[in-house]
Structure formats: structure tokens, C-alpha cells
């Protein structure tokens, strides 16, 4: 049964992350801001109006990079401190204060890209030849030239940056601070409900009456906030559309995909192919769940139940270390050292508490170690989630050491490949440990339900819905709660067909996902998992040589496009074949589940 969440002040210290590695005290944090503001002013005085030739380009970029190395830990500290307790007034005020300071700094520094973009391409190319450090950065400046606005306009836009991003903060405040869930009742007994307990427990609860009651209670509370949340989202969308228009992009999709170094063809293919080709496999999986659990009908509220709930082991944080270490040892000693440091030095926030951000994420500030957030529930699924976040950590642990601050981060299209790769490693390691049909079925169902359902289905359906939203915005429209509900329901009904009833409340799942405030992000999960599925197969078959190639991909950071990074690892994502191969692999896994279930039932 779910428990009422404790206050942040009441959770165990060892289950929280140690932000002192960023700043040891509030005084040190405030001092860093004062120093940063002074250094920004000194930089502006020295370089504003002075970036005129190749030598001054590289000199300015060197100082510019140094400033960003100081901005990153300050911004990271404010966001991480805020994310673990959205009811902490001090953390929220600190975050808001830095948002204003950051906008002011961005406005002051906007001249750098303005002056660079006004230089002839030959000068920028000469600067590239003089210093390899800023070659990639300058290449992007050249590509963006046509979308760069007048320096004063850029300065004004930068000054409004915190205002433009405020919708995301408002969304989180509504979701985590204002939205309080009442207990729900089943057979005269009350059960506590929260965002964390629903997504981490009740959503996959085996007892159908409890699961459905929790789903209804959760949906009813979301419904109370649907209009505010929709208006918040529309604010964000209109800001994106306006920016796209004034910069001269043909569509909002072109604007959002530009920095991802992905064309519309790759984006659309990811959504269209999966919607068409994966749906039959997932409907078969849904029917298997229905059969095993003896459900009269399969509804959206039933899709997260485990195939074999009797085989769901409970695991402690300490016990998870062995599974993680065994699975990720294939990546080598340096990678494993990072994993162990993450546990031992409190890089991970495991605690469940009121006001904590839902889901899981990894933040990897340049020049510092990564930080991971997870709400540990004790289910084996948490091992997959943690392995996923450690994949992000391992990526930037390698990239940040090998590249400068401008070159470390790859395209969003590639960002989920290293994380989902680690989930594959965990699954493969578990499968190699036993031939017991029940255990094999549990592991394979975990891969399907956690790794593929979550990353390939949930996020894919978010992407299909998101595309419809942006098509509406691009044509000059806006969105309301009713419109968003209709769009979401339509996408769910198209994918699941007659095999799954889309019950009331399912349409509100658009309210649960913060990714919608991060541009065209949801589709990248399936893109990343397509790459990692193919590469993990190579590593299993070829061993160390394939591992070494993958480590080089991680170290490359953002110095190459997604297609180039994938090619380094032996995958050609410019064709549909890797995606079709991955969908076929998912289908094979589901077929194995059907066979194993028949085998188990015959033996009972």
C-alpha cells in the first residue's frame, strides 16, 4: 500500500544527493554570482565591438567559454535544489533570482553571436583553421547566419529569456506544489495518493479495483487543473511560434529541429513508422496481459500491470549496486568507477518526499560530476530507471572530459541512446543468469514493459500527439484543454485500436509530461533506443572492439551530428532499416512472452 510522503527535512541524508560538491554554503553560492557578474562586465568591456578578425574571434570565444563554465554550476545548483522540494520557498526564490540574473547576463553577452554572425564566412573559416577548439561552434554560427536578428533585437530577446521560459516553471509549480491528491477508497478502506505513488505504484497495482480507483482519483485531480495547465502550455507554444516566425524559419518544426541537426524526414519517419509497424505487436502484448490477468476487457488503465506480479522482486538501494555493476562492467573499469562513485559520493537523490519532481533525470554540469534524481520505490524496475540515468551520466562523464563546454553536448536526437543502452545491458545480464521460464518471462516482460513500452510507446505516442499540436500552432491556431484532450485521445485510439478501451482520464495524460516544454523531445527516446538496440546487439556479438567504439562515440559529445555518431557505432540512421529491425526485435520479444506463458501455464 502507498504511504503518505514525508517532508524533505525528514528523509535520510544518505538517500539525498550532496549539492555541497557544487557550493559548500549559501555564502559561497552568492559570492560566485557576484564574481560572475563582475567577470561578465569585464568581458563585455573588453570584447564588445572588438570581434573583427580570426584572432579576436578565438580570443573572445575562449573568454566566452570560461564564463559559461562559471554559469553552469550556479544554474545547476539552483535547479537541483528546487527540483527536490518545490514547496521550499528559499529554493524557489533562489531559482527565480538566478533566472533574472541569467537573463540579464544573456542580454549582455548576446553581442558575441551577433558580432560573429556579422563577420564574413571567410573570417569565421579562418578562425576555424586557427583553432580546432571552436571549429564546431563556429560551424553552427555559419549555419545560423540567416536566422540571426539585429544585435539590438537579439539583446532584447535574451533579456526576456527568463520570461519566455517561465511557462515551464509555472507548469511544475501547478503540478508539484498546488496539486494535492485526496485519498481514494476501495471496499471501505482509504489509500493515500500522490503523483509519485501513482506513477511508481498504483498505476501498476495488480488489484484491478484499486488500480482503477487510483486511476480515476488521479484523473479527477488532473481534470481540476486541465484549463490552467493547457493555458500554461499554450503560452509556451505561442512563444516558440513567435520566435520561429521572427527568426525567419519556414515552419516551427524547422526551428525546433535546427539545433538537433535532424531534418523533417528523420523526425516524421520515426513517428509514422512506429505508429504503423509497432502497433500490432503492442496490441498482441495488451491481449496477453488481459488473458493472463483474466480481465473482461483491456483498458488504458491496465496497460502498466506486470505480466507476472508474483515474480516482481523487491530490491533495496544497496542491493541494486550488484545488478548495476554486473550489467555495466562490460563498459570497463573507468566507467564502473564512475558508477561506484555515484553511489558512494551521493551523486544520486533516491528519497521520496513531498514536493519532489516526478520521474527521473540526470544533470551533468560541465566541470563537475553528474547528478541523478530518482524516487526509489523498491521495485526491480527502479534498477532499469537508475541504469538509464547512469547512461546519461556516463555519457557526459566521458564527453565533458574529452571536449570543451561548447562541444560536449550532442544533438537531442542522440541524447537517449547511451541511457537506453544501459537498460539493454541490465536486461541482457539478467537473461544470462537463468534459464528458468518464469524468470526469463519476468526479465523479457520488464524489457517490453519498461524499456520499450516507456521509451518506444509512451514517448512515441507523446510525439505523435505533439506533432498534431505543433501543426495546429504552425497554422496560427492555439490550444485549450478540450482541444488537447481530443488530440491525445485520438492518438491513443489510433494506436491501440479495438484491443484497448481508452477510458475516461486517459486523454489527460498530456498533463503529466514535462517534455512538452522542451521542444521536440519525446520522439528522441525511440530514436535513441533504435540506436542503442542495434549497438547493444553488436557489443553482445563482437565484445570489446564494439565497446571501445561506443566509448569513442560517448567521448565525441557534440562534435558530430546524430547520423555521424550513429555511424561511428555501426548504425545507419539515415535509412529506415535500423528502426524496422528494432520493431522486429520488439515483436520477437513479445512472441517469446506468449510462448513462455503457454509453457508456464502447461506446467502448472
- Say if 341 falls within a structural domain: no
d(CA 533, CA 74): 36
Q: Can you tell me the mean pLDDT for 124-141?
A: 94
Dist. CA 141–CA 429, nearest whole Å: 44
Biggest alpha carbon distance in the chain?
80
Question: Could you tell me which residues come within 8 angstroms of residue 479 by beta carbon, excluding any fewer than 6 positions away?
Answer: 230, 233, 234, 237, 469, 472, 473
Percent above pLDDT 70 for the chain: 100
Q: Cell 537473461, residue? A: 431
Please state, in angstroms and rounded to a whole number, the distance separating the CA atoms of residues 381 and 309: 12
Query: CA–CA separation, 512 vs 134, rounded Å?
Result: 39
Cα–Cα dist 305/206, whole Å = 6
Whether 346 is covered by a domain: the verdict is no
Question: For the domain that residue 60 is a member of, what is the CATH number?
Answer: 1.20.140.70
Q: Is residue 2 part of a domain?
A: no
pLDDT score at 271: 93
Q: Are residues 85 and 216 in the same domain?
A: no
- Label residues 263-280 b or e (16+ Cβ within 10 Å = b): eeebbebbbebbbebbbe
> Same domain for 104 and 210?
no
At 124 the pLDDT is 95
Q: Structural domain tally of the chain?
A: 3
C-alpha cell recorded at residue 352? 521520496
The rounded distance, in Å, linking the Cα atoms of 422 and 115 is 42
pLDDT band at 327 (very low <50, low <70, confident <90, very high): very high
- Do residues 553 and 584 both lie within one domain? yes
Of 206, 217, 36, 62, which Cα lies nearest the Cα of 130? 62
Residue 357 lies in a domain: no
| Whole-angstrom Cα Rg for the chain | 24
Three cell numbers, residue 404: 570543451
What is the reported pLDDT for 3? 60
Residue 1: per-residue pLDDT = 41
Mean pLDDT of 355-378: 93
What residue has cell string 547576463?
105
Q: Tell me, yes or no, whether 63 and 122 share the same domain.
A: yes
Query: For the residues 53-82, what does the mean pLDDT come to?
Result: 96
Confidence of residue 540 (pLDDT cuts 50, 70, 90): confident
Same domain? 214 vs 258: no
**Cα 350 to chain center, whole Å?**
18
Number of other residues whose CB lies within 10 A of the CB of residue 434: 12
Distance from C-alpha of 496 to C-alpha of 289, rounded to nearest angstrom: 14
Here the cell at position 508 is 489527460
In a domain, 123, yes or no: yes
pLDDT, averaged across the chain: 93
This prediction has a pTM of 0.85
Instruction: Flag whether 327 is in a domain.
Output: no
Residue 332 within any structural domain of the chain: no
Helix (H) or strand (E) segment spanning residue 474 = helix 459-474
Distance, in Å, from the CA atom of 431 to the CA atom of 276, rounded to the nearest integer, reads 29
Residue 428 sits in the same domain as residue 487: yes
User: 450-499: per-residue pLDDT in tens?
Assistant: 788 887 899 899 999 999 999 999 999 999 999 999 999 999 999 999 99
Task: Write down the pLDDT at residue 217.
Answer: 96
Q: Using the predicted structure, report yes or no on whether residue 2 has a pLDDT greater than 50.
A: no
In a domain, 34, yes or no: yes
Same domain? For 525 and 591 the reply is yes
Q: Within this chain, do residues 272 and 420 fall inside the same structural domain, yes or no?
A: yes
Nearest to 77 by CA among 28, 7, 9: 28
DSSP secondary structure code for residue 371 in this structure: E
Q: Are residues 136 and 202 in the same domain?
A: no
Q: Give the tens place of pLDDT for each residue, 558-578.
A: 999 999 999 999 999 989 999
Q: State percent of the chain over pLDDT 90.
A: 75
Q: Domain containing 566 — which CATH number?
A: 1.10.1370.20
With bands split at pLDDT 50, 70 and 90, how would you rate the model's confidence at 339? very high
Range of the structural domain that residue 196 is part of: 180-224
Region 284-297: what's the mean pLDDT? 96
Distance CA 495, CA 492 (A): 5
Mean pLDDT of 439-450: 88
Nearest of 69, 59, 77 to residue 36 by alpha carbon? 69
Within 13 Å, how many C-alpha atoms sit on residue 446's CB side? 26
CB 84 within 8 A of CB 356: yes
CA 424 to chain centre: 17
Q: Which residue has the cell 510525439?
A: 463
Q: Do 57 and 186 share a domain, yes or no?
A: no
The answer for residues whose C-beta is within 8 angstroms of residue 278's C-beta and 6 or more apart is 456, 457, 460, 583, 586
Predicted confidence (pLDDT) per residue in 167-188, tens digit = 988 898 888 788 889 999 999 9
What secondary structure letter does DSSP report for 86? Answer: T
**Rounded-to-integer distance, Cα 460 and Cα 526, Å:** 7
Same domain membership, residue 544 and residue 398: yes
210 and 131 co-located in one domain? no
Distances (CA, A) of 225 to 180, 182, 197: 11, 14, 19
Amino acid at each position: 500500500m502507498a504511504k503518505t510522503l514525508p517532508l524533505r527535512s525528514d528523509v535520510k541524508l544518505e538517500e539525498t544527493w550532496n549539492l555541497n560538491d557544487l557550493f559548500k554554503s549559501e555564502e559561497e553560492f552568492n559570492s560566485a554570482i557576484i564574481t560572475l557578474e563582475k567577470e561578465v562586465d569585464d568581458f563585455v568591456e573588453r570584447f564588445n565591438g572588438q570581434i573583427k578578425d580570426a584572432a579576436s574571434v578565438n580570443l573572445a570565444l575562449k573568454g566566452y567559454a570560461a564564463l559559461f563554465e562559471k554559469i553552469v554550476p550556479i544554474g545547476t545548483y539552483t535547479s537541483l535544489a528546487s527540483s527536490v522540494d518545490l514547496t521550499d520557498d528559499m529554493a524557489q526564490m533562489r531559482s527565480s533570482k538566478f533566472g533574472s540574473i541569467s537573463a540579464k547576463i544573456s542580454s549582455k553577452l548576446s553581442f558575441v553571436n551577433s558580432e560573429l554572425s556579422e563577420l564574413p564566412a571567410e573570417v569565421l573559416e579562418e578562425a576555424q583553421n586557427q583553432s580546432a577548439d571552436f571549429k564546431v561552434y563556429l560551424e553552427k554560427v555559419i549555419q545560423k547566419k540567416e536566422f540571426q536578428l539585429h544585435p539590438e533585437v537579439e539583446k532584447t530577446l535574451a533579456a526576456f529569456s527568463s520570461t519566455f521560459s517561465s511557462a515551464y516553471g509555472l507548469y511544475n509549480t501547478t503540478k508539484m506544489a498546488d496539486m494535492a491528491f485526496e485519498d481514494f477508497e476501495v471496499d471501505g478502506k482509504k489509500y493515500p495518493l500522490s503523483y509519485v505513488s501513482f506513477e511508481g505504484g498504483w498505476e501498476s497495482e495488480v488489484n484491478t479495483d484499486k488500480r482503477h480507483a487510483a486511476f480515476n482519483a488521479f484523473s479527477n485531480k488532473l481534470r481540476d487543473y486541465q484549463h490552467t495547465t493547457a493555458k500554461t502550455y499554450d503560452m509556451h507554444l505561442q512563444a516558440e511560434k513567435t520566435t520561429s516566425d521572427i527568426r525567419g524559419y519556414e515552419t516551427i518544426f524547422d526551428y525546433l529541429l535546427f539545433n538537433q541537426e535532424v531534418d523533417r524526414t528523420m523526425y516524421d519517419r520515426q513517428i509514422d513508422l512506429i505508429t504503423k509497424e509497432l502497433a500490432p505487436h503492442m496490441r498482441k502484448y495488451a491481449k496477453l496481459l488481459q488473458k493472463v490477468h483474466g480481465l473482461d476487457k483491456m483498458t488504458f488503465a491496465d496497460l502498466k500491470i506486470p505480466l507476472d506480479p508474483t515474480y516482481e522482486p523487491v530490491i533495496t538501494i544497496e542491493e541494486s549496486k550488484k545488478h548495476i555493476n554486473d550489467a555495466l562492467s562490460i563498459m570497463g573499469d573507468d566507467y564502473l568507477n564512475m558508477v561506484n562513485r555515484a553511489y558512494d559520493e551521493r551523486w544520486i537523490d533516491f528519497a521520496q518526499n513531498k514536493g519532489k519532481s516526478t520521474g527521473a533525470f540526470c544533470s551533468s554540469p560541465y566541470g563537475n560530476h553528474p547528478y541523478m534524481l530518482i524516487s526509489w520505490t523498491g521495485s526491480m524496475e527502479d534498477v532499469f530507471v537508475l541504469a538509464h540515468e547512469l547512461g546519461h551520466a556516463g555519457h557526459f562523464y566521458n564527453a565533458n572530459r574529452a571536449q570543451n563546454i561548447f562541444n560536449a553536448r550532442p544533438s537531442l536526437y542522440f541524447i537517449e541512446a547511451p541511457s537506453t543502452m544501459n537498460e539493454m545491458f541490465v536486461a541482457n545480464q539478467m537473461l544470462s543468469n537463468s534459464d528458468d521460464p518464469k524468470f526469463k518471462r519476468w526479465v523479457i516482460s520488464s524489457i517490453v514493459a519498461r524499456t520499450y513500452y516507456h521509451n518506444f510507446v509512451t514517448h512515441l505516442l507523446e510525439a505523435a500527439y505533439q506533432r498534431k499540436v505543433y501543426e495546429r500552432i504552425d497554422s496560427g491556431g492555439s490550444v485549450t484543454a478540450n482541444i488537447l484532450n481530443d488530440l491525445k485521445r485520438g492518438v491513443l485510439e489510433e494506436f491501440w485500436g479495438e484491443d484497448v478501451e481508452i477510458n475516461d482520464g486517459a486523454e489527460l495524460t498530456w498533463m503529466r509530461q514535462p517534455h512538452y516544454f522542451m521542444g521536440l523531445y519525446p520522439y528522441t527516446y525511440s530514436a535513441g533506443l533504435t540506436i542503442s538496440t542495434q549497438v547493444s546487439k553488436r557489443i553482445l556479438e563482437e565484445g570489446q572492439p564494439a565497446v571501445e567504439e561506443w566509448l569513442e562515440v560517448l567521448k565525441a559529445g557534440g562534435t558530430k551530428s546524430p547520423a555521424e555518431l550513429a555511424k561511428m557505432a555501426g548504425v545507419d540512421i539515415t535509412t529506415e532499416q535500423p528502426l524496422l529491425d528494432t520493431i522486429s526485435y520488439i515483436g520477437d520479444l513479445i512472441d517469446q512472452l506468449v510462448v513462455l506463458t503457454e509453457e508456464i501455464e502447461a506446467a502448472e
